[in-house]
Amino acid sequence: MLRSHVLTLAAALLLLPALPVLAWADPTADELLKKYDSVMGPENFLATIQMTAHRDDGTTRTYKMTVLKKGSEKFRLSFAEPAAVRGQEMLRQGDNLWVYMPNLKRAVRLANRDSFQGGDFNNADVLRVNYQADYSAKTVADPSRADAWELELHAKTKDAAYDMVKLWLRKSDLQPVKGEYYTASGKMLRMAEFSEFKAYSGLMRPGKIQMKNMLATQRYSTMSWDAMDTHVDPPSGKFVLDDLGK
């Protein structure tokens, strides 16, 4: 009797329609780019940062600064050290950048692709992290990095920091681990390594970026985040020219 019931159940199961096999889909290029922006440029934050520029002659110079960001269009940076730049401030409103010079008591226009304080990051690297607005993205197969997704980005606006960028985000948590930055002709200008991952106000992100200069190979700069508070809502009045120097 038991054998008969088992055979009947087996036969019934064979008649059931096949169930679809569930699988996690790979993230799209747009999803990966959105993740990058959310990690490297959260909506609002207040942070303290250090940049050390290592120059061709072996000398270094360290800058300490406070940065404030509101939304995707407003960014303000104030220098605390060294003494030569104390009181200088940088402001971004949308596509426009300025640096406030306390000795002149006025703000001067900046270009996105100019060097940030003579180091190996450019102004847009620091003041404008909005890759979704600036680049179109596609994923690229990289057989040498099975642990990471590779993104290839092409500038769709003149305000982009570079003409072409390659980014690698590790598959385990979608944190950026490497970046390469190119001219329109395909010459590599810079290469970045992301490290020291930790949580800031609950946001996991790299605590350090080392930017290598591929044209002057003795040069490189490091950017380190000492602290970051993402639970802030700065007033819009902090992001106007008239407030600089106050």
User: Do 154 and 163 meet the contact criterion of CB atoms below 8 Å apart?
Assistant: yes
The answer to the question of residue 4 being in a domain is: no
Backbone angle region of 186, left / alpha / beta, with phi > 0 → left and psi within -120 to 50 → alpha:
left
CA 5, distance to chain mean position in Å, is 62
24 falls in which pLDDT band (50, 70, 90)? low
- The backbone torsions φ and ψ at residue 194, rounded to the nearest 5 degrees and listed phi first, read -100, 135
The answer to the question of residue 5 being in a domain is: no
- Quote the pLDDT of residue 150: 97
The answer to the question of residue 16 being in a domain is: no
Domain containing 55 equals: 26-243
* Cα(46)–Cα(230) distance, integer angstroms: 7
The answer to the question of residue 132 being in a domain is: yes
The answer to the question of residue 98 being in a domain is: yes
DSSP 95: T
The answer to the question of residue 236 being in a domain is: yes
* Cα(118)–Cα(62) distance, integer angstroms: 11
- Quote the pLDDT of residue 143: 87
How much is the average pLDDT of 227-244? 96
- Quote the pLDDT of residue 142: 86
The answer to the question of residue 149 being in a domain is: yes
* Cα(230)–Cα(97) distance, integer angstroms: 23
The answer to the question of residue 129 being in a domain is: yes
- 32-50 pLDDT, tens digit each: 999 999 999 999 999 999 9
Q: What is the mean pLDDT of the chain?
A: 91
Q: Is the dihedral of CA 192, 193, 199, 200 positive or negative?
A: negative
How many structural domains comprise the chain? 1
CATH code, domain with 73:
2.50.20.10
159 falls in which pLDDT band (50, 70, 90)? confident
